[in-house]
Amino acid sequence: MWDEELVNAAAAALVGAADGNFRTVGAAVRNTDGTIHVGVNLFHFVGGPCAEMVALANTAGDATRIVAVGDEDRGVVAPCGRCRQIMIDLFPHIEVLMPDRQIIPVADLMPGAYRWSEASGLAP
């Protein structure tokens, strides 16, 4: 079922933070206990953190669902490849809310993905 509360939390993270230049995406993550953690991106030419990564860094490691929302009424946006790779390595069971209102397990967004966590022995 679609998680409007999570979408609204991601959008709310942008209120007062979005500047149309360096902070343009808000994200929200739901933990297993229902707690929601948010974050915003910080664009920089060296590869500043995406909003999803900031929100995930605020969790206790038990994230179950994530969504990102763009500024200027762009609505829900799909995670980039780097975020997908980090999620599949560190949060392999997380569900991702997508722009078409689908909720997709991250593993389905990365079929055949290289699993750094397994290769390095650092699986969560």
Contact assessment for residue 21 and residue 43, using Cβ atoms and an 8 Å cutoff = yes
How many angstroms separate the CA atoms of 9 and 21, rounded?
A: 21
Closest by CA position to 50, among listed 26, 29, 30: 26
Catalytic residue among 4, 5, 52, 72: 52
Q: How many residues does the chain have?
A: 124
1-40 as b/e: b if 16+ CB within 10 A: eebeebbebbbebbeebbeeeebbbbbbbbbeeeebbbbb
28, 6 Cβ separation under 8 angstroms: yes
**4 classed as catalytic:** no
Active site residues: 52
